[in-house]
């Protein structure tokens, strides 16, 4: 032995099992930290890429740039890339559809948000690339290389002309299709779309002197973008609307990172890493704490021969350091393998979900950070025990018995425990509580596992509920009825219902109506709100005072009404009766503005009468309340919750005098050709002004749920494994510390079976106690989540019994399994050896 430090290595080897346990703990936590980091960075990067893809990968574009100025821009050292374009013509294939034909150079095409699905960007004269859907609408169904002849209206000066001027410039032009552009949802749904040609072609079509360019610039990394935009604007002599910033991309370059998604990811990640760190600290601390306790006698001897406390601390910390050197690289490796494996598999499973396009980025930054975090955690957790070891007095070596009864034992009676589990139960329970600190640490990591499990399951549940109302299945087209334009006609309904592959169409009629409540009907919370806001929500009708405010009147068919059934807390849905007496269901809560939470508006009861005033009328009409809705089963297109009045179609038509629809929710057959249905819905949506098409297919994709679940529950699983490590550790330690006790128990006649039972119960009790504390924490967290989400949308709080029970059973099982390893040793115990054991 060269130095006392050699002791470190000997101790580690001497306690092989414990060292392995600590090592597993370190590896798991570093793996978790590392994979959380990799995931976070990859997701962030994906977000950035998405933004660049959908907004174009440039910082600014200037309009009205002279040809002579182009060189100036190109030569600027701050500019990474420059591309130019010229709007050349407009192509209108059908009513409500239009595509802008732009001349642009290759650089621009590449940095824009336009993406080729096949072929190439135009390079030769008269070549053209168009969005897929435009081509689909053409009768000839052209392929790449085909000639297409279209009628276009030529624009001249930066699209400044009126419709009338344009119609005088109709020409028919023949192009060669060089490439097909991917459909871009915003251009498609917005009615505007793109086709591109070369700059040369554009100039030729326009045939106009002194054509001006629009030039988009991407700056080099680290160039202060905002400042440079101004500088270049000055050089070009541009001001105001000639300067078009790409604010989404500018935000990305970090100067003003306002992306809420990024922040959310960051917060989630921080919380995860924090949880992981805390659990790691618990395990490593426990391992070292215990290994020090076991060696108090030895440290006493070391001290008595002249080892300083500092040297002893170094011995212990040295052990931690050696373990880290082995554990950190292994942990990093496991983390990388885990992310690559899990996310890689997800990416293969389907391209359309969260991880579909995820490119995994493993940066040195994340790896180094994980190593540092891991190292700091391990050393910090070992520090306390190291200090404790240093404090051991040399006397402990001489006072043989010093070690055993460090534990403070207090006695209580447990008649119930005795009844259920017998003497073994009592002993198991008392054993748990011998050392408060160790008990706490052991239970703690399990608590975290359970709390996370409960929280995550509530989270998943609310995610699925939040996604939409009862009707939202695959697609919907809707239209705010506030607009003056008409809604969808019965003919539109026939058309939607007739699309091949459509299984069910839920149709909604909705009109904003003025709702009148008497003073008695208005809820106190609403009155206070009105008073507090000073809002003028009072009106006089037919000599009476009312609270009046905007509500939504829905008209539904019987089948749709039945879907509201679960939400009705009082009253009932009887369509015939509702038809006869203007019966309505009411949802009595509303949110009036951004600054206030939802308020309860009224205290209506079944049988009450309320008045409403429909569009274009001034006489109130009486409606009879036949049911109270507790939440909103309806899909709506309003930002805020409003007071809702739901009735039958017949009543709706009668009181509004209209026969229109505000929304169709479409459920598809299993076998439906989604894309085909979507295209037909699009054509209806385009025909009706102001209406939009909603696609729930991706949102409600179960894949998404499964993948998130795998990640969240994976985390829970690993944390539970760490918790189990802690229990294994504590119980095996107890075994070693209590060898003599176990021996005595056997000597006085405890059978191996009884001893097994006692130790197993100890493990199970850990699980039960962890469930109690972890359950409280998890339910608390879930409750917080609920109150947060409840501000956005009404939820019914349901106590998470299911996850509590599953979590509890899981914890008990883990506790039980954790005793398996120590039990093996106990069953091999030699009674004589044990009762003679020297301290």
Least distance CB 267 / other proteins (angstroms): 45
H or E segment and range at residue 569: strand 568-571
- Residue 257 or 751: which CB sits closer to other proteins? 751
Per CB under 8 A, 416 contacts other proteins: no
- Residue 652 or 766: which CB sits closer to other proteins? 766
Q: Scanning the structure block, which residue is given the tokens 């040297």?
A: 311
Residue range at the interface with other proteins (CB under 8 A); choices 79-87, 220-228, 426-434, 641-649: 426-434
* Contact (CB, 8 A) for 819 and 731: yes
- Residue 143 or 409: which CB sits closer to other proteins? 409
- Residue 200 or 744: which CB sits closer to other proteins? 744
Least distance CB 727 / other proteins (angstroms): 19
CA distance 329 to 357: 28
Q: How are beta strands 213-219 and 79-91 bridged, if at all?
A: antiparallel
Binding mask 475-514 for other proteins (x = CB under 8 A): ----------------------------------------
- Residue 424 or 608: which CB sits closer to other proteins? 424
Cα three-residue angle 129-135-136, rounded to 5 degrees? 150
SS3 readout for 675-743: HHHHHHHHHHHHHCCCCEEEECCCCCCHHHHHHHHHHHHHHHHHHHHHHHHHHHHHHHHHHHHCHHHHH
b/e sequence 132-168, b meaning 16+ C-beta within 10 Å: bbbbeeeeeebeeeeeeebebbbbbeeeebeeeebee
CA distance 65 to 211: 9
- Residue 409 or 706: which CB sits closer to other proteins? 409
Binding mask 561-590 for other proteins (x = CB under 8 A): ------------------------------
- Residue 466 or 832: which CB sits closer to other proteins? 832
- Residue 617 or 744: which CB sits closer to other proteins? 744
Q: Tell me which residues in 13-52 interact with other proteins (CB under 8 A).
A: none
Among 270, 337, 398, 423, interactor with other proteins by CB under 8 A: 423
- Residue 641 or 762: which CB sits closer to other proteins? 762
Residue range at the interface with other proteins (CB under 8 A); choices 97-105, 106-114, 556-564, 742-750: 742-750
DSSP state of 360: P
Least distance CB 821 / other proteins (angstroms): 21
Binding mask 433-452 for other proteins (x = CB under 8 A): -x------------------
Nearest to 539 by CA among 595, 597, 611, 472: 611
CA distance 384 to 285: 8
Least distance CB 835 / other proteins (angstroms): 6
- The count of other CB atoms within 10 Å of the CB of residue 839 is 10
CA distance 809 to 135: 59
What is the residue-wise DSSP string for 390-423? HH--THHHHSGGGTGGGS-------HHHHHHHHH
Least distance CB 729 / other proteins (angstroms): 20
- Residue 434 or 692: which CB sits closer to other proteins? 434
Least distance CB 404 / other proteins (angstroms): 7
What is the residue-wise DSSP string for 181-243? EPP-HHHHHTSEEEEEE-HHHHHHHH--SS--EEEEEEEPTTS-HHHHHHHHHHHHT--GGGE
> Which residues are within 8 A (CB) of 75 and not within 5 positions of it... i.e. 6 or more apart?
none
Least distance CB 747 / other proteins (angstroms): 5
Among 183, 198, 215, 431, interactor with other proteins by CB under 8 A: 431
Least distance CB 409 / other proteins (angstroms): 5
Among 68, 162, 168, 405, interactor with other proteins by CB under 8 A: 405
| Tokens of residue 239, six digits | 């001001």
Per CB under 8 A, 398 contacts other proteins: no
Beta strand extents in 52-95 (DSSP E only): 60-65, 79-91
Least distance CB 419 / other proteins (angstroms): 11
CA distance 628 to 633: 12
CA distance 771 to 452: 11
> 479-482, long-range: CB within 8 Å, 24+ apart, which pairs?
479/637, 479/662, 479/663, 479/688, 479/690, 479/691, 479/692, 480/637, 480/638, 480/662, 480/690, 481/510, 481/511, 481/512, 481/660, 481/662, 482/512
- Residue 500 or 836: which CB sits closer to other proteins? 836
Q: Tell me which residues in 743-762 interact with other proteins (CB under 8 A).
A: 743-754
> Which residues are within 8 A (CB) of 450 and not within 5 positions of it... i.e. 6 or more apart?
770, 771, 774, 775, 777, 778, 807, 808, 810, 811
Among 49, 161, 242, 407, interactor with other proteins by CB under 8 A: 407
Could you tell me how many residues make up the chain? 839
Residue range at the interface with other proteins (CB under 8 A); choices 402-410, 500-508, 597-605, 654-662: 402-410
Least distance CB 421 / other proteins (angstroms): 11
Residue range at the interface with other proteins (CB under 8 A); choices 68-76, 423-431, 597-605, 808-816: 423-431
- Residue 698 or 830: which CB sits closer to other proteins? 830
- Residue 516 or 823: which CB sits closer to other proteins? 823
Among 159, 348, 399, 404, interactor with other proteins by CB under 8 A: 404
CA distance 407 to 436: 8
- Residue 132 or 418: which CB sits closer to other proteins? 418
Least distance CB 402 / other proteins (angstroms): 12
H or E segment and range at residue 589: strand 589-590
Collapse the DSSP code of 797 into the 3-class scheme (helix H, G, I; strand E, B; otherwise coil) and give the result: coil
- Residue 494 or 830: which CB sits closer to other proteins? 830
Q: Tell me which residues in 809-838 interact with other proteins (CB under 8 A).
A: 831-832, 835-836
Q: How are beta strands 538-541 and 621-629 bridged, if at all?
A: unpaired
Residue range at the interface with other proteins (CB under 8 A); choices 138-146, 406-414, 636-644, 786-794: 406-414
Least distance CB 427 / other proteins (angstroms): 7
Rg (CA), the chain: 36
Per CB under 8 A, 422 contacts other proteins: yes
Residue range at the interface with other proteins (CB under 8 A); choices 245-253, 427-435, 673-681, 809-817: 427-435
Collapse the DSSP code of 580 into the 3-class scheme (helix H, G, I; strand E, B; otherwise coil) and give the result: helix
Among 275, 427, 585, 684, interactor with other proteins by CB under 8 A: 427
Nearest to 194 by CA among 336, 89, 272: 89
* Contact (CB, 8 A) for 317 and 386: yes
Q: Tell me which residues in 722-741 interact with other proteins (CB under 8 A).
A: 740-741
Q: Measure Cα distances from 558 to 84, 644, 648 in Å.
A: 58, 17, 7
- Residue 107 or 750: which CB sits closer to other proteins? 750
Among 49, 430, 609, 667, interactor with other proteins by CB under 8 A: 430
- Residue 723 or 743: which CB sits closer to other proteins? 743
Binding mask 355-394 for other proteins (x = CB under 8 A): ----------------------------------------
- Residue 669 or 839: which CB sits closer to other proteins? 839
Site size for other proteins (CB under 8 A): 29
Residue 99 phi, psi dihedral angles, 5° rounding: -135, 140
- The count of other CB atoms within 10 Å of the CB of residue 412 is 9
Interaction site with other proteins (CB under 8 A): 404-405, 407, 409, 411, 422-423, 427, 430-431, 434, 740-741, 743-754, 831-832, 835-836
């Amino acid at each position: 032995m060269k130095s006392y430090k050699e002791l470190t290595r000997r101790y580690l080897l001497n306690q092989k099992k414990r060292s392995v346990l600590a090592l597993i703990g370190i590896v798991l936590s570093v793996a978790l930290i590392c994979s959380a980091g990799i995931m976070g960075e990859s997701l962030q990067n994906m977000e950035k890429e998405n933004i660049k893809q959908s907004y174009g990968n440039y910082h600014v574009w200037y309009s009205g740039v002279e040809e002579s100025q182009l060189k100036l821009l190109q030569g600027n050292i701050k500019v990474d890339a420059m591309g130019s374009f010229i709007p050349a013509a407009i192509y209108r294939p059908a009513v409500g559809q239009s595509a802008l034909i732009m001349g642009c150079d290759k650089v621009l095409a590449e940095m824009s948000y336009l993406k080729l699905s096949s072929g190439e960007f135009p390079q030769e004269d008269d070549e053209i690339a168009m969005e897929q859907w435009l081509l689909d609408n053409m009768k000839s169904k052209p392929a790449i290389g085909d000639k297409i002849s279209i009628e276009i209206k030529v624009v001249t000066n930066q699209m400044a002309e009126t419709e009338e001027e344009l119609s005088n410039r109709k020409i028919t032009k023949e192009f060669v299709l060089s490439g097909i552009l991917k459909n871009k949802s915003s251009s498609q749904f917005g009615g505007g779309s793109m086709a591109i040609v070369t700059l040369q072609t554009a100039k030729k079509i326009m045939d106009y002197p002194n054509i001006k360019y629009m030039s988009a610039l991407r700056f080099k990394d680290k160039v202060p973008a905002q400042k440079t935009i101004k500088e270049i604007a000055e050089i070009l002599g541009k001001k105001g609307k000639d300067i078009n910033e790409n604010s989404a991309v500018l935000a990305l370059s970090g100067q003003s990172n306002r992306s809420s998604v990024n922040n959310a990811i960051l917060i989630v990640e921080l919380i995860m890493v924090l949880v992981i760190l805390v659990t790691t600290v618990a395990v490593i601390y426990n391992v070292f704490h215990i290994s020090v306790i076991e060696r108090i006698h030895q440290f006493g001897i070391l001290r008595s021969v002249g080892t300083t406390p500092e040297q002893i601390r170094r011995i212990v910390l040295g052990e931690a350091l050696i373990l880290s050197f082995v554990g950190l690289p292994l942990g990093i490796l496991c983390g990388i393998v885990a992310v690559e494996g899990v996310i890689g598999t997800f990416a293969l499973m389907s391209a359309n979900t969260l991880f579909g396009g995820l490119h995994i980025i493993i940066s040195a930054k994340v790896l180094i950070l994980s190593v540092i975090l891991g190292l700091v955690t391990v050393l910090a957790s070992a520090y306390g025990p190291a200090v404790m070891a240093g404090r051991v007095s040399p006397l402990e070596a001489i006072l043989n018995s010093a070690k055993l009864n460090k534990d403070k034992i207090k006695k209580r009676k447990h008649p119930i425990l005795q009844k259920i589990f017998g003497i073994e139960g009592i002993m198991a329970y008392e054993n748990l509580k011998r050392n408060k600190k160790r008990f706490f640490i052991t239970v703690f990591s399990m608590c975290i596992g359970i709390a996370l499990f409960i929280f995550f399951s509530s989270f998943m549940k609310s995610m699925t509920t939040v996604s939409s109302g009862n009707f939202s299945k695959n697609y919907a087209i809707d239209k705010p009825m506030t607009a003056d334009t008409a809604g969808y006609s019965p003919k539109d309904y026939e058309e939607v219902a007739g699309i091949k592959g459509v299984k069910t169409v839920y149709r909604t009629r909705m009109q904003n109506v003025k709702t009148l409540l008497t003073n008695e009907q208005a809820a106190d919370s609403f009155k206070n709100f009105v008073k507090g806001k000073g809002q003028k929500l009072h009106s006089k009708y037919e000599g009476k005072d009312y609270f009046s405010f905007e509500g939504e009147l829905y008209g539904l068919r019987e089948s749709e009404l039945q879907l509201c059934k679960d939400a009705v807390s009082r009253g009932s849905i009887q369509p015939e009766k509702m038809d006869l007496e203007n019966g309505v269901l009411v949802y009595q809560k509303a949110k009036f503005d951004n600054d206030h939470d939802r308020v309860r508006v009224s205290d209506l009861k079944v049988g009450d009468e309320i008045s409403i005033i429909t569009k274009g009328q001034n006489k109130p009409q009486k409606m009879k309340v036949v049911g109270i809705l507790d939440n909103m089963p309806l899909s709506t297109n309003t930002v805020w919750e409003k007071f809702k009045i739901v009735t039958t179609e017949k009543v709706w038509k009668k009181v509004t005098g209209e026969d229109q629809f505000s929304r169709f929710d479409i459920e598809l057959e299993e076998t439906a050709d989604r894309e085909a249905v979507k295209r037909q819905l699009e054509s209806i949506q385009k025909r009706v002004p102001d209406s939009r098409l909603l696609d729930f297919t991706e949102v409600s994709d179960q894949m998404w749920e499964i993948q998130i679940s795998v990640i969240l529950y994976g985390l829970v699983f690993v944390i539970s494994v760490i918790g189990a490590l802690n229990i294994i550790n504590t119980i095996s330690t107890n075994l070693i510390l209590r060898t003599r006790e176990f021996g005595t128990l056997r000597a006085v006649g405890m059978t191996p079976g009884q001893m097994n039972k006692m130790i197993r119960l100890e493990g199970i009790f850990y699980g039960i106690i962890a469930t109690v504390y972890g359950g409280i924490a998890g339910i608390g967290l879930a409750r917080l989540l609920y109150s947060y989400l409840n501000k956005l949308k009404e939820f019914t709080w349901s106590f998470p019994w299911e996850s509590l029970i599953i979590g509890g059973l899981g914890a008990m099982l883990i506790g039980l399994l954790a005793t398996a390893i120590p039990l093996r040793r106990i069953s091999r115990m030699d009674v004589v050896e044990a009762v003679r054991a020297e301290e």
